[in-house]
Chain A
Amino acid sequence: MIDPLVSDSINILRKRSLAEGGFANTDNGDYRTDATAWAILALSACGLDPEIISRARSRLATGQLPDGRVSISPYHPAVYWPTPLAILAWSQSPSNQDSLARAVDFLLDHSGMCLPKQAKSPDASDSTLKGWPWVAGTYSWIDPTALGIIALKVTGHSNHPRIAEATRLLLNRQLPHGGWNYGNIIVFNKELRPMPENTGMALDALKSLTARSNLELSLDYLKIVVRNLRTPIALSWGILGLGAWGERPAAAATWLSECWGRQARFGGYDTASLSLFILACRLSGGIESLYRLAP
């Protein structure tokens, strides 16, 4: 049975699905890669609209570049952070296995820029570790690296050396007092502050890759902060991240309901946020639990 909030959310997504396949991020908007991938995951989590999902997957595939990357737009080929999202969107689709394989190969062959260790660097993070960047030719950051890990785990690459190194990167960028932000830890001898959305994403990615004892401070941070979150991206990732470690808050449904109500203030949520919201409503664990749901 579908929760009424999820049902309302799905109806909004359906209105944003495009005749030629894929989804816009807002009402009457244009096709967007990231919105499309997220919407596919959300509808899949509900077991709905197989035809819309199929057309959306095909639309993602038509935008895929020859080297396997999936960029935010055809005019921005270097902006390839949506590639792991596309992998997740294609993962349960027999007819998109070629696209899936090429995207996986692309992720395995590409990484963020690495810099040699500098003894006097003001930034305490280990710049030699490979993760994934937002944009080609730039540094590795938490969100694209976490999404890359999740995508490769879902496609059976949990033991790949790239996942091992990306795991080390995430652990290296974990703040000493717990949590993650976008990817810096200590700059000019000051520890920076964590943020719930990045913490949730990192925790979700690290499920089964590291001992829980390495993450207790981050779990503690998120368990406290999530109580006051009512915005879709932070709350959803907070719930998914905790859920991945068996700590889905008992009050999650109440908070999600309040988050839904905040649209009276914020205006309607965009497709990506709404899709994440649906996933947080539907999944008891993290993103990977989507792939363990009964078809």
Chain B
Amino acid sequence: MGFTRREFLGACIGGAILAASGLFLWRKFLRSTWQAQTFIAKVPGYQADIATVICEGLAHLGISPQEIKGKRILLKPNLVETNPASIHINTHPLVVRGAVEAFLKFGASRVMVAEGPGHCRDTLRVLEESGLGEVLWEDRIPFIDLNYQDAYSMPNVGKFSSLTSLTFPAILRQVDLIVSLAKLKTHHWAGITLSMKNLFGFMPGLYYGWPKNVLHYAGIEEAILDITATLRPHLAIVDGIVGMEGDGPIMGDPKPAGVLVMGRNLPAVDATCARVMKINPYRVGYLKRAEFVLGTINEADIVQVGEPIAAVATEFTLLNYIPSQKSLRMGFWGKFI
């Protein structure tokens, strides 16, 4: 006694329907678990009232003054190198000032700025030459040099790389909220550098070198994911008022995108930023791997508040001779692959 051909075909079709339903329900479950919210604001220039924009962003994201009141906030801008008149390399000092003011308005007990530049041994020189130092001293904002602090180690939660532990500066144990205050840029190794790549600056040069070559050897994508998973930053604010296109993160060209992008979930923020740059987040290696593990990058699962992406998206130049930038462009099928 055996199956008839009809019975066999019926069983196959039934199995296929069951499998597809299971996959659909599983993805629906994952999506509902990983939904995130991001906020986009149009900001015409650095002389705008950035503090008010950030306050609005916090409110739109459901972050109330009650949540911030009494908290110790650490803002980590992107300070790489300096070059006269190159405002597109680093998080602009007025964005840092605006973020400090916003959190103080929301009742933070203390707001600090911290960075561990990956190329420059002399952090104070970078502060001076970038103009950020002037803002910090005028506003009496404390600055922490993350490269030279005493540090602590903890197990690598992400386990994307072979690094068994990660070493962080001691200050991170003395704050309540960690904010990645990044810059909207292309990157010649990672494709793009946004709120997650910005976290490299938390890794002290004393233990990782200048540049932080340990992380490159571990795999840049893997290191980005591991640091995000282990550190668990609470918020991202990305300075895209003037970003960088082409050969980022240092030698590229200024690209006025006129936006600030904010969100609690860093993969969602980075995916939104990628779409603003007209880059397909699914083609960015670290973002694709972050999906359903660290957050969502699917546009359908990201509740977009503020400006819609379509109103602000602008094509950032990608260079064909830079392998990490090839094939990043958003195409017709960009939402699906």
Contact = CB atoms under 8 A, between A and B. Distances in A.
Contact of B209 (A25, A141, A181): A141
Nearest to A79: B207
B160 interface: no
Interface stretch (A39-47, A130-138, A211-219): A130-138
Interface string A100-115: 0000000000000000
Contacts of A144: 209
Given A135-B208, A138-B209, A233-B125, A193 B83 contact: yes
Interface in B121-180: 121-122, 124-125, 127-128, 133, 137, 148, 150, 153, 167
A187 B119 contact: no
B213 A141 contact: yes
Contacts of A198: 121
Interface of A: 25, 29-30, 32, 34, 72, 75-76, 79, 81, 122, 133-135, 137-139, 141, 143-144, 181-183, 187-190, 192-193, 195-198, 229-234, 262, 265-266, 270, 272
A159 to B, nearest CB: 29
B209 A81 contact: yes
B211 A265 contact: no
Interface string B77-115: 000010100000000000000000000000000000000
B321 interface: yes
A69 to B, nearest CB: 15
Nearest to A30: B150
Given A134-B213, A231-B128, A181 B150 contact: no
B148 A25 contact: yes
Contact of B322 (A133, A188, A195, A196): A188
B209 A272 contact: no
B188 A188 contact: yes
Name the 6 nearest CB pairs between A and B, nearest first.
Answer: A134-B209, A233-B122, A231-B124, A138-B213, A234-B122, A231-B125
A193 B120 contact: no
23 contacts: A25-B148, A34-B206, A72-B207, A76-B153, A79-B207, A135-B209, A135-B213, A137-B217, A139-B217, A141-B213, A182-B120, A182-B210, A182-B211, A183-B211, A190-B247, A190-B251, A193-B81, A193-B250, A197-B125, A198-B121, A231-B122, A265-B133, A272-B148
Nearest to B214: A135
A134 B210 contact: yes
B210 A143 contact: yes
Interface string B204-246: 0111111101101100000000000000000000000000000
Given A25-B148, A75-B153, A188-B188, A139 B213 contact: yes
Interface string B294-337: 00000000000000000000000001011000000000000000
Contacts of A133: 209, 213
Contacts of A30: 150
Contacts of A25: 148, 150
Nearest to A271: B148
B118 to A, nearest CB: 8
Contacts of A231: 122, 124-125, 128
B250 A192 contact: yes
